[in-house]
Structure 1
Amino acid sequence: MGARRPRTGHDWKLLAESCTALLERLPQLVDEHLRQLTVHSPVYGQVLPHDQQWREAEEAMRIGIETLSAPRDSPRRDLEHAEDTGRRRARQGLPLDLLVHAYRSAGYLLWDALVDGTAGREPERLTALMRSTTMVWSAVDAQAQTASEAYRATEAELRRRTDEQLQALLDALLEGQATPGLAARAAAGLDLPEHGPYAVVVLRAERREPDERPVRGAGLRFIWRMRADGEVGVVALAPGQGLDGVARVLAGRCSGPGGISPVVPGLAELGRARRLAELALRTCPPDGTAVVRLDQRMPTALVVSQPELADRLVADVFGALLELEPADRAVLLGTLDGWLACEGSAGRAAARLYCHRNTVFNRLRRLEQLTSRSLARPRDLIEMTLALDAYRLSGVRR
């Protein structure tokens, strides 16, 4: 087969005449185009009213036909229209594959109409049309591609705006804003129940890896927000579910320190839950690695929530102890901490501290002498326990 004969100016003239004749049949072509689209998918008719869809299809097909016969250096009105259509269809919610199909379907319809309108005429006109095949389908491809790119860009922008709006709603809830309807809007946007069990997790920023944050687990759903000093997670629990599952999931995925709030009954209570989770976090020592629950750290939380009183408690209870050499003081306080962790068992504390049982007793007696308190008296024991917590957490307050 010889080389294809290039399209001439005469070919262009014949194509223009065919396109002019095609414009006279445009209303019937639009009707057929919309019929074919509805047969392909009923979604087309659900996106736009029929009259508006007909007007837009007529404009697009008319511009497409006129572009085929326009001079080579003419502005590409068809691509401008395709870009506008792509943006508009993204905002209207038409699936991208249906948008592309509409362009392909219109291209097939117009091409068949061109061929049919030429078939009964002189062979020269049909031959000229065949030499224009590549140009015609290149125009259809360019229109579909331009519309697709505009669609994707608009879709990404809409998604970004939606994400920002949802993040703003979530931030407002976590800040405890009492705006009417806020919880309902957030529930709809985040696909969460407005009323139901929730908890909040606060994680300090240091040593955090991006993939440490759980998203789901043990029937829980986590929604995270980055902050300058850490991360805040909203945890949606199943009805009747407590905090044990939350603690287990976090222990397996997150290095501390962190705090878990008590359960609250709905999205409107997230501000209070966030404050309680932050209070739980404050009960972690400066070098802590655990994610702790507030309901299991209540005495310590009382201490850290009143820093001025906590300082006075440390000074009153450990006054003489604080005058010791740091190493000596650390041994005595470490022994008290170990003895409390072992529930008052000197034997278990000795194993924990790698010393003899009598050594534990001797250190505790010395501690009692320095503090003028007895570990056998409940009130004195409470004071010494709270003072120890306040002393260990003093670095957090400073």
Structure 2
Amino acid sequence: MGGRTRRTGHDWKLLREACVALLPRIPELVDEHLRQLAEHSPAYDRVLPYDQHWREAEEAIRIGIETITAPRESPRRDLEYARDSGRRRAGQGLPLDLLVHSYRNAGYLVWDALLEGASGGDPERLAALMRSATLVWSAVDAQAVTASDAYRETELELRRRTDERAQALLDALLEGQSAPGLAARAAAGLDLPERGPYAVVVLRVERRGERDAPHRRVQEAGFRFVWRMRTDCEVGVVALGAEAGLDGLVALLDRLGVGAGPGAGGVSPVVDGLAELGQARRLAELALRTCPADAGGVVRFDRRMPTALVVGQPELAGRLVADVFGALLALEPGDRAVLLETLDAWLDCEGSAGRAAGRLYCHRNTVFNRLRRLEQLTSRSLARPRDLIEMTLALDAYRLSPGLGGVG
């Protein structure tokens, strides 16, 4: 409890005698110390077993009193013990303000006991103690600061380890690992229910922003998100809740600007628990692959399944493009691009040549002429459902599959 700035003379002798006389009273002081702490906050008794707390408090008070009279060049045992105490209390989960209060409270008890021992008719001893007050309280402050610093360092390290464990559990789920008990451990580490409706969002990341973190937890409009940054994408695990659905999720993401601008994002179907997140991630990634890299917005897998079938089978996609667009691919790039752009616009306009012409800034007859030329080059008719399906899927494959003229 004491500082050890150089002391000489009679004051030092009287202070030492007072400290030695106080040593037999330490058990009494510890009992009173723990009683006052329990009155101050029930957290002490909840966090610290009484017998362990008593032994540690007894040792801390004894070391503090002995330190007051220790030679100046000796090691600071009180600060070493304070560092250990700060680390222990951080690991036990005692709030930092209660740790500091315990040091202050012990300091008051020891100081009052010293004054009480010197007040029995010896003014000289009492005066010597009062002249030592600054030294004693400086030591109490040093112990509290040392314990606080060790507490904060340990708390940061524990938080880092907790984050790393949570990150590893999240990665294991998203990779589809099926180790026994993994979902239960992840539920505890991520503070999420093991069962319940979940979806996965995968965003193509063009730039790092405020979400650039190993993983982070967010709650928005009834949805609970855990985001995980990866090299070329950001993955979000979404707890949907009882009333939430994919329509509400996509609307929220659009409103927040998630996936806005180049890049886009994909949303998985709903799955029933954490154990199914690996499958959900793969389907969300497949939904993302149905979006051209220059498109924005977030798309749902269940609204892109035909296109997902195409981009999910690169070899078959290549064969489909070669079979349907073989003659078209031999055209000059500019000529080919105009015909495919016209087909794309006509499909987006639900087969309306007039609306497609407005989008393309040309006459509707021009649209008809281009479509007839496409039919001639592909030997298919847009009026036949099977041919229309083939041409639609071939267009998606061409635009979205790497190596076929698309951007992947």
Identity, % of aligned positions = 77
Are positions 1:101 and 2:101 aligned together? yes
- Equivalent position of 2:193 in the other structure: 193
Moved more, 206-215 or 370-379: 206-215
- Equivalent position of 1:28 in the other structure: 28
- Equivalent position of 2:299 in the other structure: 292
Moved more, 121-130 or 284-293: 284-293
Residues in 2 aligned to 1:241 and 1:112: alpha-carbon distance in whole angstroms? 62
- 8 Å CA contact 1:14–1:125 kept in 2: the answer is yes
- Equivalent position of 1:3 in the other structure: none
Give the aligned residue type for 2:386. Answer: R
Residues in 1 aligned to 2:24 and 2:208: alpha-carbon distance in whole angstroms? 68
Residues in 2 aligned to 1:125 and 1:240: alpha-carbon distance in whole angstroms? 74
Are positions 1:386 and 2:393 aligned together? yes
TM-score where L is the length of structure 1:
0.95
Residues in 2 aligned to 1:265 and 1:84: alpha-carbon distance in whole angstroms? 46
- Equivalent position of 2:3 in the other structure: none
Give the aligned residue type for 2:356. Answer: A
- Equivalent position of 1:362 in the other structure: 369
User: Stretches of 4+ moved more than 4 A in 1?
Assistant: 211-214
Are positions 1:18 and 2:18 aligned together? yes
Give the aligned residue type for 2:299. Answer: V
Are positions 1:176 and 2:176 aligned together? yes
Moved more, 53-62 or 232-241: 232-241
Describe the superposition over 1:185-222 as per-residue Cα deviations: whole angstroms up to 9, x where unpaired: 11122221111111111112224533599933232111
Describe the superposition over 1:31-72 as per-residue Cα deviations: whole angstroms up to 9, x where unpaired: 111111111112212222222211111110000001111222
244, 248, 253: which one pairs with 2:251?
A: 248
| CA shift in 2, pair 1:371/1:307, >3 Å | same
Residues in 1 aligned to 2:390 and 2:227: alpha-carbon distance in whole angstroms? 38
Moved more, 285-294 or 37-46: 285-294
Residues in 2 aligned to 1:122 and 1:194: alpha-carbon distance in whole angstroms? 70
Are positions 1:333 and 2:336 aligned together? no
Residues in 2 aligned to 1:280 and 1:128: alpha-carbon distance in whole angstroms? 81
Residues in 2 aligned to 1:32 and 1:129: alpha-carbon distance in whole angstroms? 22
SS in 2 for 1:284: coil
- Equivalent position of 2:42 in the other structure: 42
SS in 2 for 1:197: strand
| CA shift in 2, pair 1:147/1:382, >3 Å | same
Report how many residues are paired.
393
Are positions 1:222 and 2:225 aligned together? yes
SS in 2 for 1:210: coil
CA shift for structure 1 position 240: 4.5
Residues in 2 aligned to 1:51 and 1:390: alpha-carbon distance in whole angstroms? 72
SS in 2 for 1:198: strand
Q: CA RMSD in A?
A: 1.7
Moved more, 251-260 or 157-166: 251-260
CA shift for structure 1 position 75: 1.4
Residues in 1 aligned to 2:43 and 2:241: alpha-carbon distance in whole angstroms? 36
Moved more, 38-47 or 370-379: 38-47
- 8 Å CA contact 1:91–1:154 kept in 2: the answer is yes
1:16-165 map, 5 Å = 16-165=16-165
Residues in 1 aligned to 2:112 and 2:104: alpha-carbon distance in whole angstroms? 12
Moved more, 211-220 or 83-92: 211-220
Residues in 2 aligned to 1:26 and 1:326: alpha-carbon distance in whole angstroms? 92
Residues in 1 aligned to 2:242 and 2:100: alpha-carbon distance in whole angstroms? 45
337, 344, 347: which one pairs with 2:351?
A: 344
CA shift for structure 1 position 372: 0.8
Moved more, 303-312 or 120-129: 120-129
| CA shift in 2, pair 1:63/1:304, >3 Å | same
- 8 Å CA contact 2:223–2:244 kept in 1: the answer is no
Give the aligned residue type for 1:69. Answer: T
Give the aligned residue type for 2:120. Answer: G
| Uncovered stretches (5+) of structure 1, i.e. residues with no partner | 1-5
- 8 Å CA contact 1:259–1:278 kept in 2: the answer is yes
Describe the superposition over 1:104-144 as per-residue Cα deviations: whole angstroms up to 9, x where unpaired: 00100111110110011422111111110000000000001
Give the aligned residue type for 1:238. Answer: G
Residues in 1 aligned to 2:348 and 2:66: alpha-carbon distance in whole angstroms? 86
SS in 2 for 1:222: strand
| CA shift in 2, pair 1:10/1:214, >3 Å | closer
CA shift for structure 1 position 150: 0.6
284, 290, 296: which one pairs with 1:277?
A: 284
Residues in 2 aligned to 1:218 and 1:92: alpha-carbon distance in whole angstroms? 34
